[in-house]
Amino acid sequence: MRPTFIEISRQALLDNVAFFRRIATAQTLIAIVKANAYGHGIETVAPILAPVVDMFGVAYAEEGAFLREIGVDTPILVLMTPTVGDIEAIIEHNLEVVGCSLDFVHALSSAAQRHHRRIPVHVYVDTGMHRDGIPYQNVPAFVEECTRLDGIELKGICTHFARSDDRDCTMTTEQNHRFSSVLAQLESRGYRFPLVHAANTAAAIRFPETHYTALRIGIGLYGMAPGVTKAPDLCPVLRLRSQVTALRRVEKGESVGYGTYYFAPRTTTIATIAIGYGDGYSRMLSGKAECLIGGKRYPIVGAICMDECMVDVGDDPIRIGEEVVLIGSQGHDSITVGELADRMGTIPYEVTTLLSNRIPRVEVE
């Protein structure tokens, strides 16, 4: 068995949930586990979270179906615009959905009635992101039409912020104003919703006025604060580790790896590590990343391969089988997801969601 795996800290997950419970004015916590729990492993993460959260959020109906198949009975909300092709899975697996078009909710209602069911729908209000949902000006008419449909239940109403993790608060403030105005219009017409949710991780931390009755927490559950958001109490959940599988001496001036991008500046030892871009450890990190061996940083050199990468360990007494940490702590040092994101020119979300399913996830305390 290849000695590369991801450790998922149960206690860190629980501590992060507790953090959001402490800061929340909302009572309902929706844990977002889409995209394989942001790369952390939905099959590992969801059973840990199920007893301590109120609902799960997924992107697609098939993710919700998978949660049901592994025994999760917590309410599940499908957050991306559903299609008519999703309807049977939504009904079969008792999923909740966002309402983004009249055509869809009509089709959903008709199918639900054939099954003698009522499907919970959350009205998705587009307040300025312009990706999904009902334009905020049209929401009252949409809600009125939905109330005529016997196969759906209007359980929630929501919106999504485009820049809540940005230093400039203007757009978030404007979006929240539009959303609260829609809520006021609906309330004046007698429409109220058990769940009202707008805040993602950044908004939950930075804008308490956006909490309403539920929070949707994604990246924060996994111990990361997006953009300019500061949350030192969050605990990283993921630790990516491998082992040294080979060692060889390389003379000064000799090349290492594909493409001969790296030439040894001195006679040195090159360690081979059992992880590569086929595991989601991006080739974009070639010549930029470091790893920890024995609590010390070493540069990853040459082009990252599909299944392996190479590390210049100099003359240090490294042994085959020694632990290598690519993300997480070892000794007194730590390599964060944010650090790798900066070196790749991307965001932490992409770093973890790239991690392949061929890396086993293992729950640890």
pLDDT given for residue 23 in this prediction: 96
DSSP per-residue codes, 226-253? -TT---TT----EEEEEEEEEEEEE-TT
Question: In terms of domains, do 159 and 53 share one?
Answer: yes
At 84, list the tokens: 């008519």
The CATH number for 304's domain is 2.40.37.10
Question: In terms of domains, do 78 and 185 share one?
Answer: yes
CA distance 199 to 161: 8
Q: Is 195 left (phi over 0), alpha (psi -120 to 50) or beta?
A: beta
CA distance 145 to 135: 15
- pLDDT beneath 70: ranges in the chain: none
Token pair 């805040």 is found at 199
Question: In terms of domains, do 133 and 45 share one?
Answer: yes
Domains of the chain: total: 2
Tell me the C-alpha to C-alpha distance, in Å, between residue 351 and each of 38, 149, 190, 224, 339. Answer: 9, 43, 45, 12, 10
316 belongs to a structural domain: yes
303 belongs to a structural domain: yes
- Helices 61-69 and 42-49, interaxial angle, to 10°? 70
Single-letter amino acid code for the residue at 168: D
Question: In terms of domains, do 178 and 308 share one?
Answer: no
229 belongs to a structural domain: no
Give the 3-state DSSP-derived string for 171-182, with helices as H, strands as E and coil as C.
HHHHHHHHHHHH
What is the DSSP pairing of strand 28-32 with strand 134-135? unpaired
pLDDT given for residue 202 in this prediction: 97
4 belongs to a structural domain: no
Question: In terms of domains, do 129 and 62 share one?
Answer: yes
Q: Catalytic positions, please? A: 34, 258
Question: In terms of domains, do 214 and 290 share one?
Answer: no
Question: In terms of domains, do 204 and 250 share one?
Answer: no
Q: Please list, in sequence order, all residues whose beta carbon lies within 8 angstroms of the beta carbon of residue 14, skipping any fewer than 6 positions away.
A: 48, 52
What range defines the domain where residue 353 resides?
A: 238-364
Question: In terms of domains, do 35 and 165 share one?
Answer: yes
Identify any residues that bridge with 263 across adjacent strands, giving them in sequence order: 255
pLDDT given for residue 134 in this prediction: 98
pLDDT given for residue 261 in this prediction: 87
- Radius of gyration of the chain, Cα coordinates, nearest whole angstrom: 24
Q: What φ, ψ does residue 17 adopt, rounded to 5°?
A: -60, -45
6 within 8 A of 359, measured Cβ to Cβ: yes
